[in-house]
A and B are shown apart, each in its own frame.
Chain A
């Protein structure tokens, strides 16, 4: 079945540093999404990508949908303490935008003030 490999598994960085994480898949996805989850809460959508090659920013966040449609990365610039959390990539299961998502394993981010 389809799987998403997300890396790194965890990061511990200094406040102000930039962060990069990525997801790869053996299958093609037509939609890539990046979420942030705080402990005990549901995921919150950060960025949605719908076209291969698309590069989208949301404040200090930038994400790109890989040309091959099998990968995506998320960058966070100038990290701050509130960036702490678990970041998940997700791809839409279907050949079209079904809304059924498969998630990566998550990247736990810790920021040292």
Chain B
């Protein structure tokens, strides 16, 4: 299957700083990418949909100014957690979709963010 790579896999940052997470589709062009958040022992929750060349669409309750998404090319989307606080500590996972109809979205390996 297609490969989606996230970087970094783990990051520890100080409270108040910003952290950027990258999601790359390695062997296909992703028209759409999705960002999810997963707290320990919980399920994945969709945060936003990232479309190449246009603004991201955020799910209800997700602060767009807090979680900045940029999808500058068909192979790269970035999620920036701005002014991070301990409650932002979580597992962030992206997925990338190649086509539009009946195509699966491939998930990255996730990024463990710890804010201290």
- The interface of chain A, by Cβ under 8 A from chain B, is 31, 33, 35, 40-45, 48, 50, 88, 93, 97, 99-106
Known: A42-B95, A100-B49, A103-B45. 13 other contacts (CB 8 A): A41-B110, A44-B107, A45-B104, A45-B106, A48-B102, A48-B104, A97-B101, A99-B97, A100-B46, A101-B95, A101-B105, A102-B46, A106-B43
How far is it, in angstroms, between the C-alpha of A43 and the C-alpha of B52 when the chains are bound?
23
Task: Report whether B112 and A42 are in contact in the complex, using a CB–CB cutoff of 8 Å.
Answer: no
B93 near A: Cβ within 8 Å?
yes
Name A's interface SS: loop
- Output the least CB separation between A93 and chain B (Å): 8
B109 near A: Cβ within 8 Å?
yes
B110 — which chain A residues lie within 8 A by C-beta? 40-42
- The interface of chain B, by Cβ under 8 A from chain A, is 1, 4, 6, 32, 34, 42-46, 49, 91, 93, 95, 97, 100-110, 112
Task: Report whether A43 and B93 are in contact in the complex, using a CB–CB cutoff of 8 Å.
Answer: yes
How far is it, in angstroms, between the C-alpha of A35 and the C-alpha of B38 when the chains are bound?
15
Task: Report whether A43 and B102 are in contact in the complex, using a CB–CB cutoff of 8 Å.
Answer: no
Instruction: Using A88-B43, A100-B49, A106-B43 as known contacts, say yes or no to A43 and B107 having CB atoms under 8 A apart.
Output: yes
Name B's interface SS: strand
Task: Report whether B46 and A101 are in contact in the complex, using a CB–CB cutoff of 8 Å.
Answer: yes
How far is it, in angstroms, between the C-alpha of A11 and the C-alpha of B28 when the chains are bound?
37
Task: Report whether B32 and A99 are in contact in the complex, using a CB–CB cutoff of 8 Å.
Answer: yes
How far is it, in angstroms, between the C-alpha of A33 and the C-alpha of B106 when the chains are bound?
12
Instruction: Using A88-B44, A97-B102, A101-B46 as known contacts, say yes or no to A40 and B97 having CB atoms under 8 A apart.
Output: no
How far is it, in angstroms, between the C-alpha of A40 and the C-alpha of B91 when the chains are bound?
8
Question: In the complex, which residue of chain A has the Cβ closest to the Cβ of B97?
Answer: A99
Question: In the complex, which residue of chain B has the Cβ closest to the Cβ of A43?
Answer: B107
